[in-house]
Structure 1
Amino acid sequence: MISPQTIQQITSRIDILDIVGEFVKLKKRGTSYLGLCPFHGEKTPSFTVSPAKEIFKCFGCGKSGNSITFLMEHEKYSYVEALRWLAHRYNIEIEETAVSPEIKQQQLVADSLFAINSFAQKFFADQLWNTEEGQNIALSYLEERGFNKEITEKFQVGYNPQSRYTFSRLATQNQFNPELLLKTGLVANRNEELVDNYRGRIIFPIHNNTGKIIGFGARVIGKAEKAPKYINTPENELYIKSRILYGSYFARQAIDKNDECLLVEGYTDVISLHQAGIENVVASGGTSLTTDQLRLIKKYTNNLTIIYDGDAAGVKAALRGLDMALEEGLNVKLVLIPDKEDPDSYVKKVGAGEFKEFVAANKKDFVLFQLEVMLKEAGNDVNRKNDVVNQVAETLSKINKAEDFTKQQEYIRRCSGILRIDETGLTNLVNKYKRDRVAKEEKRQQSPPSQSFDYSSAEPIDDFGGMPPDATFMDVPDGSLLMNQDEAHERNVLKVLLEYGLNQWDEQKTIAAHIFEELDGFNFDNPELEMLFEEFRRQYNAHLEPTTRTLLYHENERIRDMVVNVTMFPFELSQRWDEKLMNIKIVNRDNSILDVTKSLLYFKLKKLKKMIEQNQRDMEASNSIDEQMRLIKIHSHLKEIERELVKNMGTVILK
């Protein structure tokens, strides 16, 4: 884990304009900056960045946060990945918290493997572009296949020469550990001697989510006869095949923008589609889809379109992993490329425009396509048709998320029609498979999961930096416009607490201390706002001097989000008001005491009104004279406090 000291160093160096400005064109407006939101399509800018508050917020789609959450949302980084990205940008050395010797050793191995892979990629690229062998054999082959220089450089494609020792000897000369070189698969041990493992092959680097190289795919040039067509990196601390989708680093933003992921089989399919301008595409590497791969896709979108060859092998490959995709809640479509083509050859044959049209027009529903294939194979065999019914029911039982109930019912309706069976009967069969699966789960003795480490992204799996992974929180896209008045007053109190809390109220106490005294006995109705208020008070009492900025980088995501929503508004007073009204300062004056006083008065008045209303209901419901007399006294007391507050409010407003 990254140490708190390093995190503090990173957050103190962050300039939100520098970070967001790398991805969004911003224009100054008052004290803030405005641009087109990168998270949803818009023509009128509503994406606001406040450098003073270190916050961004889109008043169109509601996305908001700080520099770290911007990177997490835009680049699809985890919390730790975003911190590492920022540390690299600001040249901050990352200090890790104390870990066991075993974990420390694993981290050292992972770092060494990253270094070897980076060295190897540069070597392969140099061999492709700057050697006679590379140009005559590999580059000419790539050009024949229709790959231009720009796309080849983008994906960092290279070449390993035919000599047995070119890479291995250079690597050992550069002091790389022989054991770790063997781990990468770049070299092999032949008669106690290290030799190049990928010689005479085109090299495709495989990147993790932050762009670091975790492995390689090596393709034979031309047709493979005796040798395998592809050799891939063996599994190691970085390269875990079941968790990798080739091209995800280059596709993640396009997938997010299009809200659809195209899945193909091979490296060249991905590169060809990117070259044609279709960038929301990744490859499974020719292996069966895994749960981890599907979850990686779901991180970007719920819509998956599988594009495979139209032959029998392509159909079989496409149908693998269907049940897992349904369990993950993905909306899966299938497109089969015609005429013995693959996506690589077909896009080059028909062009980008026609390819997109073909995909759009030929998307098949995955479940119904599987049913169609199974029925075709079953023919007129009654027993095989019965197996089809059971298999379809089992597949539909995997749609088990509550929000997907309507989808499941629609599938049952359509499948029962195609199978010509009773809809109720199919529903009962689906439910039987659900019950059977639940019963099996209950019987299974599961030991507590141990923490595992995924060094392909160089961070602990399921580590959200202290944030609950399934945390939910309130977000109001239009600032306070959709809030009820009670909540608006609660937010105003928190806004002045965050903005002025450490300022002096008078010679004896701060504004924060004054607010705590005034609100003694009052509660917040909104539990999220109550949580933020109590966290500010906890830090204040611990002499941590909480501010908007420090709380923006709190480990709890809900607190960070509430800070943004409390402090960001879609409009601000123009600085020019002070120029127009020369004798009255509206913008550039200290309004802290007035703002705090008014916010507290409105807050307490609203709470008193609710207390008076509740007291009146209690009086109406009471049958006891003594109880009614007690409630009448409470009513008088509350009304007296209310009159005093209204009097003070008038004084404040007229002041």
Structure 2
Amino acid sequence: MQFAFFQTLIAQHTIQQILSRIDIVEIVGSFVKLKKRGTNYLGLCPFHNEKSPSFTVSPSKEIYKCFGCGASGNTISFLMEHEKYSYVEALRWLAQKYNVEIEEKEVSAEVKQQQLLADSLYIINNFAREYFTKTLLETEEGQNIGLSYFEERGFTKETIQKFQLGYCSNERDAFARTALEKGYNLDYLQKTGLVTIRNEQPADNYRGRVIFPIHNQSGKVLGFGARILVKNDRAPKYINSPENEIYVKSKVLYGTYFARHAIDRLNECLLVEGYTDVISLHQAGIENVVASSGTSLTVDQLRLVKKYTNNLTILYDGDSAGVKAALRGLDMAVEEGLNVKLVLIPDKEDPDSYVQKIGAPAFRQFVETNKQDFVLFKLQTSMQDIGNDSNRKSQLVNEIAETISKIDKVEDFTRQQDYIRQCSQLLKIDEQGMITLVNKFIRERLHKREQQLAKNAPPEDDQLSDEAIAAMEAAEGNFDVIFPTDEKQERELVKILLRFGDMPFSEEEKNSVADYVFHLPYDFESLADSEIVKKILREYKSRYDEGSTPDKKWFLYHEDADISKQTALILEDKEADLSINWKERFEIDTVCGDNAYLRDTISTTNYLILRKIKKLILENQQEMEKAETFDMQMKCVEVHQHLKQLEMELTQGIGTVIFR
């Protein structure tokens, strides 16, 4: 995982130094025009279209929140969301901005070598990109051949510069010779695919071809696509960079770097096949488009789309090959929870030629009016092929039922039921029968998952999601509903530790609030029901045991996006509401607030302990009712008396403080 890898490289004090210099108004203000309103700043939200500003930045809390679309977070999460950086990239961006030198921990020679190799490949690719662009725009051959080709395709100079297109001259080793003269390593040049060895001499692999750089999500060049311009039956039309330490074709979608903001804004990703399809649509103002570069869709590519949106519209040629290519990615897309639509471009056209033929407004309208639901499209297309063949129809029913069973997210339950209804009608079969068949596939996948878990094996990608299992357990009544989660009080304990953990609790014993909490004879992580509270308490306790008391910034800017987001929400919450619960459940009043953190600490910890005691009392009473002998009954009575004594000590003030 990239976060864990980063933590093993970057020294903790370097991270703290970066965090200490962050100015959220300065960073967010680099991307959003902000105006001061009272103690906060206001602007138009960059994550959705709005005319009236509802995007608020709080410098005191170091968070942003949009009251229109609900987006919220801190400086790092803003960079991750807006620029689509990883946590690592966001920190490095901030370090560069604030001139913080990143000190890295000692790592193994192998890890260091891998990092140096990756950095070297990026540097070589960037040099090659600049070289090919210069060759295209500033040499006679580049202008006459490469630039003429792009202009014939209808690309403007602005578009060519935006996508950093280039040309490799037809000379045998012009690039290789220049790169070696600059001191670039021959082995690394071969690893990128830019240079090959012919007749024991370095030669340009892409000579006589136009060049399409392939960027990652932050704009770095991962590799290249190179198209031949002269007809040659022995040479492939396109050559792509070979896979290496930084370029894995199945994990990349061409154009993601240029499309990411538009996909976010429009909440839809258009998927096409080729480089020129992407470029033409961008030039026409349709920017939420990426390409699979002629490969079948992979799970990693679909997950990349899902980082930006749940809505995927696939634009494919209307010929039979295009239809088959579209259907290959169907089940994977459904499993990933994507809402998939398909638009077939008219025969003998592709998105590139069609948008240039009919223009951008008409193309947008065509896409909007010709979207077909992927599942229903697959069913209707298959029905046309099978005709009246009953055996093939039976096989199709099973295929469709299995596809529908993979829509296993809790929030997609209604969509799944709608598919069952529509597909049953189209197939002219009993709806209840289809439900039974879908449930059969769900049970089979659940059983397969259980078998693998029993063998301590990681689940396969096509297995039932945790959300689906949770839904099934909920439906079967397997949750403990006797004791509802008092998450408010659990989150209050987190807030106390984050805000006051290093504050003095007792001057006499020179201990802190964190000392008090973690020296009580109770494990609050195990007492908590909320998973996010458990995660925060676990990490807080771990760092406390190592001798440090982490401050709120450590969690507010945590690499785990869930911890970071929930920390912001916890710190933002002003209402503890402890007194309400204590009054109603334990007949105790409390006082809360910044100036009463000692009382808050005692109240919160006592509340959570009392909740645990009351749960044990009820469980003991249930055991007493089941007791079959006098000795078992007496043992339960003794336990009951002990628990009631603990309860009384807490509620009557022994070892604690009660405020009236």
TM-score range normalised by the length of the shorter chain:
0.7 to 0.9
Q: Distance in 1 between matches of 2:410 and 2:593?
A: 48
2:271/2:291 contact within 8 Å kept: yes
Pairwise CA RMSD: 4.5
> For residue 312 of structure 2, what is the aligned residue in structure 1?
304
Comparing 183-192 with 600-609, greater Cα deviation is found at 600-609
**Are the structure 2 counterparts of residues 355 and 594 from structure 1 closer, same or farther at C-alpha, using a change threshold of 3 Å?**
same
1:567 to 2:575 alignment: no
- Equivalences for residues 89-238 of structure 1 within 5 A: 89-90=97-98, 92=100, 94-221=102-229, 227-238=235-246
> For residue 513 of structure 2, what is the aligned residue in structure 1?
512
2:215/2:223 contact within 8 Å kept: yes
Q: Unmatched 5+ residue regions in structure 2? A: 459-465, 471-483, 576-591, 626-632
> For residue 476 of structure 1, what is the aligned residue in structure 2?
none
> For residue 465 of structure 1, what is the aligned residue in structure 2?
none
1:49 to 36, 42, 57: 57
Comparing 206-215 with 173-182, greater Cα deviation is found at 173-182
1:255 to 231, 255, 263: 263
Offset, 1:345: 1.5
> For residue 554 of structure 2, what is the aligned residue in structure 1?
550
1:26 to 2:34 alignment: yes
Q: Which amino acid aligns with 1:28?
A: K
2:40/2:59 contact within 8 Å kept: yes
Q: Distance in 2 between matches of 1:270 and 1:200?
A: 23
2:10/2:105 contact within 8 Å kept: no
> For residue 457 of structure 1, what is the aligned residue in structure 2?
none
Q: Which amino acid aligns with 2:550?
A: P
Secondary structure at the aligned position of 1:269 is classed as: helix
1:304/1:333 contact within 8 Å kept: yes
Q: Distance in 1 between matches of 2:355 and 2:132?
A: 27
1:6 to 11, 18, 34: 11
- Equivalences for residues 602-613 of structure 1 within 5 A: none
C-alpha offsets along residues 191-242 of structure 1, whole Å, 9 cap, x if unaligned?
A: 1112212122210000112211111011223766653221111222222221
- Equivalences for residues 421-500 of structure 1 within 5 A: 421-430=429-438, 495=495, 497-500=497-500
Comparing 113-122 with 171-180, greater Cα deviation is found at 171-180
1:489/1:602 contact within 8 Å kept: no
1:265/1:285 contact within 8 Å kept: yes
Comparing 334-343 with 609-618, greater Cα deviation is found at 609-618
Q: Which amino acid aligns with 2:553?
A: R
Q: Distance in 2 between matches of 1:52 and 1:254?
A: 31
- Equivalences for residues 221-620 of structure 1 within 5 A: 221=229, 227-430=235-438, 495=495, 497-503=497-503, 508=508, 509=510, 512=513, 516=517, 527=530, 528-529=532-533, 532=536, 536=540, 539=543, 543-554=547-558, 557-568=561-572, 594-596=595-597, 599=600
C-alpha offsets along residues 404-451 of structure 1, whole Å, 9 cap, x if unaligned?
A: 44433332332232233333444455455556667777888999889x
Q: Distance in 2 between matches of 1:155 and 1:149?
A: 10
Q: Which amino acid aligns with 2:289?
A: V
> For residue 462 of structure 1, what is the aligned residue in structure 2?
none
1:498/1:547 contact within 8 Å kept: yes
Offset, 1:394: 4.2
**Are the structure 2 counterparts of residues 166 and 406 from structure 1 closer, same or farther at C-alpha, using a change threshold of 3 Å?**
same
**Are the structure 2 counterparts of residues 500 and 372 from structure 1 closer, same or farther at C-alpha, using a change threshold of 3 Å?**
closer
Q: Distance in 1 between matches of 2:434 and 2:360?
A: 42
Q: Distance in 2 between matches of 1:432 and 1:517?
A: 48
C-alpha offsets along residues 160-191 of structure 1, whole Å, 9 cap, x if unaligned?
A: 11211211111111122222222222122221
**Are the structure 2 counterparts of residues 421 and 202 from structure 1 closer, same or farther at C-alpha, using a change threshold of 3 Å?**
same
Q: Which amino acid aligns with 2:400?
A: V
Secondary structure at the aligned position of 1:146 is classed as: coil
Compute the TM-score of the two structures, normalised by the length of structure 2: 0.76
**Are the structure 2 counterparts of residues 262 and 517 from structure 1 closer, same or farther at C-alpha, using a change threshold of 3 Å?**
closer
Q: Which amino acid aligns with 1:239?
A: Y
Offset, 1:349: 2.1
Offset, 1:346: 1.5
Q: Distance in 1 between matches of 2:175 and 2:434?
A: 60
1:259/1:302 contact within 8 Å kept: yes
Offset, 1:18: 3.4
Comparing 17-26 with 178-187, greater Cα deviation is found at 17-26
**Are the structure 2 counterparts of residues 162 and 519 from structure 1 closer, same or farther at C-alpha, using a change threshold of 3 Å?**
same
> For residue 462 of structure 2, what is the aligned residue in structure 1?
none
**Are the structure 2 counterparts of residues 428 and 502 from structure 1 closer, same or farther at C-alpha, using a change threshold of 3 Å?**
closer
Compute the TM-score of the two structures, normalised by the length of structure 1: 0.77
Q: Distance in 1 between matches of 2:389 and 2:644?
A: 84
C-alpha offsets along residues 513-549 of structure 1, whole Å, 9 cap, x if unaligned?
A: 6975999889786645576567656655754243222
1:529/1:562 contact within 8 Å kept: no
**Are the structure 2 counterparts of residues 41 and 487 from structure 1 closer, same or farther at C-alpha, using a change threshold of 3 Å?**
farther
2:76/2:91 contact within 8 Å kept: yes
C-alpha offsets along residues 588-628 of structure 1, whole Å, 9 cap, x if unaligned?
A: xxx9973436645875897899899999999x99999x999
Offset, 1:335: 0.2
Q: Distance in 1 between matches of 2:644 and 2:452?
A: 62
Q: Which amino acid aligns with 2:265?
A: K
C-alpha offsets along residues 321-351 of structure 1, whole Å, 9 cap, x if unaligned?
A: 2122222222211001125221112122222
Secondary structure at the aligned position of 2:246 is classed as: coil
**Are the structure 2 counterparts of residues 632 and 92 from structure 1 closer, same or farther at C-alpha, using a change threshold of 3 Å?**
closer
**Are the structure 2 counterparts of residues 598 and 166 from structure 1 closer, same or farther at C-alpha, using a change threshold of 3 Å?**
same
Comparing 35-44 with 192-201, greater Cα deviation is found at 35-44
Comparing 35-44 with 367-376, greater Cα deviation is found at 35-44
Q: Which amino acid aligns with 1:594?
A: N
**Are the structure 2 counterparts of residues 433 and 342 from structure 1 closer, same or farther at C-alpha, using a change threshold of 3 Å?**
same
Offset, 1:563: 2.9
Q: Distance in 2 between matches of 1:502 and 1:149?
A: 59
Offset, 1:43: 4.5
2:343/2:367 contact within 8 Å kept: yes
Q: Distance in 2 between matches of 1:163 and 1:350?
A: 39
Comparing 78-87 with 178-187, greater Cα deviation is found at 78-87
Offset, 1:367: 1.8
Q: Distance in 2 between matches of 1:629 and 1:172?
A: 84
Secondary structure at the aligned position of 1:231 is classed as: strand
2:270/2:315 contact within 8 Å kept: yes
**Are the structure 2 counterparts of residues 554 and 218 from structure 1 closer, same or farther at C-alpha, using a change threshold of 3 Å?**
closer
